[in-house]
Amino acid sequence: MVKQVFKSVGLVARYDKKQAVELAKELADYLSNKGLEVCIENTIAKKVDTPAKKVPLKNMKTDFIITIGGDGTILRTCLAVPDPEPPILAVNMGVRGFLTEVEPKDAYNAVDRTLKGEFKIEKCAKLAVSADGKAMPDALNDVVISAGEPSKILYTQICKDDEPILKCQADGLILSTQTGSTGYSLSAGGPVLDPEVETFVLTPICSLTVFRSIVFSADSKVTIEAIRPKEVLALIDGNYREVVISKKPTLTITRSKNVASFIRFKDDFYHRLQSRLLFKGT
């Protein structure tokens, strides 16, 4: 008999998609029958009949988590679960699902392989973000900084390690991890960062100041000081919002000590890049 690597599992699903909720219920029953302690996000538990323990994401402390949805479901999970984050096995039921690992038809096989320990762990860096000294949740993908009032141009002073490097007028700024470099930053003209290179990138949104993306080393401290307006919006991973109002709103971004961990069955970053982002190699 093969000894199971994990003893407990959390289930998170895209709750606006019926198929995702149904698969979460089926996997909860399947894993319970295998002797695991199963926790299911309380929002999903309200929609299904399951003996699994109903737990809010912020209290979900399990050996690993299965997400059923797309990248948005993963980002929502990573924002909410307590540190240190357990590894995530991501089942794709989203539009693109760049971060996901398996399709729904392969979910049971993926679960069995995970329980046998037949996987690798991919660790993804996060960004630590603070606004006027107040810590905010870490960003797995990106932090987007814009004027607090729609249609206002954001005029900022950008500093690296407390040294001014440029002033910028733009609709906003995106600071992305390697993971997030394939998202909003890429759409705004930023580069794709190889996950093995320890960097993060600053990309302007519709800049009036002529400059392109800047790639920083992982140990850099980047400071964004708003010259005007005095109200700034920070959006982390598309889910967490913070409005900063002061004489000079200041956001500081560094590499976080925390990471996100993903269960992988093969090393296929560039395969995912080609198949899911329509990036064609020669």
CA 80, distance to chain mean position in Å, is 11
Catalytic residue among 16, 49, 71, 83: 71
Query: What residues does CATH 3.40.50.10330 cover in the chain?
Result: 8-119+265-276
pLDDT tens-place string over residues 52-90: 899 999 999 999 999 999 999 999 999 999 888 999 999
Q: Say how far apart CA 71 and CA 93 lie, in whole Å.
A: 9
CATH of domain 126-257: 2.60.200.30
Residues of the chain with CATH 2.60.200.30: 126-257
**Distance in angstroms (rounded) separating the CA atoms of residues 157 and 4:** 53
Separation CA 142–CA 181 (nearest Å)? 8
CATH superfamily of 8-119+265-276: Probable inorganic polyphosphate/atp-NAD kinase; domain 1 (3.40.50.10330)
Per residue in 153-175, pLDDT (tens digit) is: 999 999 999 999 999 999 999 99
In this prediction the pTM is 0.91
142 among known catalytic residues: no
Confidence at residue 277, expressed as pLDDT on a 0 to 100 scale: 67
Kindly give the pairing relationship between strand 8-13 and strand 222-228: unpaired
Backbone angles phi, psi at 23, to 5 degrees: -65, -35
Letter for the amino acid at 51? P
Write the pLDDT tens digit of every residue in 85-113: 999 999 999 777 889 999 999 999 999 99
